[in-house]
Amino acid sequence: MRRAAVLLGAILPVGSALRVARPAPQAVDRRAFAAALTTLIPGVANAALARDAPPPPGILENRDRGLNEKALIANDFYFVTGRKPPRVLDVQNLPRDDPKWNAWGECASGSDGSNACTYIPLKQRYDAYSKHGLTVRAASEDLADLGQALRKKDLNTASFLLDSGEKGKAPSSLRQASRKALLLADGLLISANSGSLGREVLVARYYINEFHYATERIADMLSADDVDWAAAAELWRLGADSYNSFFVCVNKAIVPKVGEKFLAVRV
């Protein structure tokens, strides 16, 4: 029972998600993990054990990411630091006593003369927004429609919104959004002169990876003979939370001369 309690504590939110340690390279065996949980929460254990099922709703954001090898882009905040940002990014409520987060968005100079922020030229931001912003915004609207379709169990509409495209036909905005958002974040948050990856772009990439994971899993689930609508809805909420958190990361770089800031998807 003590071992099960320890394993259970490893997957539940502990205080702040900002301080979650990076998983050890040798991940816990999934079957041993599920077996330990079976005496406590059989439903969660069985879902975690199922090969193709999504993680249970309570641990979607705490799933085992391995070395990020299956992420859209491996080099994100989790990969670099071993820590996961909160599921919903609220800059105002980040812990001010944590030196890794308390300078978020602030450009105070350090004792070595360095600066916490790097200026991104207006033209670079404008060009990135002009190229990728339209698709990112359209996907935001389609993401809201997808949530409604999943709640109504409307397979045709949900599948249409997640259409992967084919020869001569472009994918839907939702299926394009992950890569477009990645390019947009790079253009808004990475200096072309230094090319260095600051905290903001790494966190933005983390949320893009979360959004990509959610939408791709939903698309896979919709092709099943028996769609698990409840699980799809939980994945949708993860995707919406992640997309909104991505907007928090990039909106600071969007001034009127660049374009309009992105509005949050209603969850």
Q: What is the pLDDT of residues 24-75, one digit of tens each?
A: 444 444 444 344 433 333 343 333 333 345 545 457 888 889 899 999 999 9
Tens of pLDDT along the chain (267 residues) come to: 444 444 444 443 433 443 334 444 444 444 443 444 333 333 433 333 333 455 454 578 888 898 999 999 999 999 999 999 999 998 777 766 665 555 555 554 444 444 456 689 999 999 999 999 999 999 999 999 999 999 999 999 999 999 999 988 999 999 999 999 999 999 999 988 777 888 999 999 999 999 999 999 999 999 999 999 999 999 999 999 999 999 999 999 999 999 999 999 988
- To which residue do tokens 């993990």 refer? 33
Are 243 and 167 within 8 A, CB to CB? no
- Give the CA dihedral 173, 213, 79, 266, nearest 10 degrees: 70
CA distances from 56 to 27, 35, 47, 75, 109 (A): 18, 15, 6, 26, 44
Are 232 and 221 within 8 A, CB to CB? yes
Closest listed residue to residue 87, CA positions, set 174, 16, 183: 16
Per the prediction, the chain carries an average pLDDT of 79
* pTM for the structure as a whole: 0.73
CATH code that applies to domain 91-251:
1.20.120.290
Domain range summary for the chain, segments of one domain joined by +: 2-56, 91-251
CA distances from 80 to 83, 118, 232 (A): 8, 19, 29
Q: 139-149: b or e for each residue (b if 16 or more CB lie within 10 Å)? A: bbebbbebbeb
Query: Radius of gyration of the chain from Cα atoms?
Result: 20
CA 220 to chain centre: 18
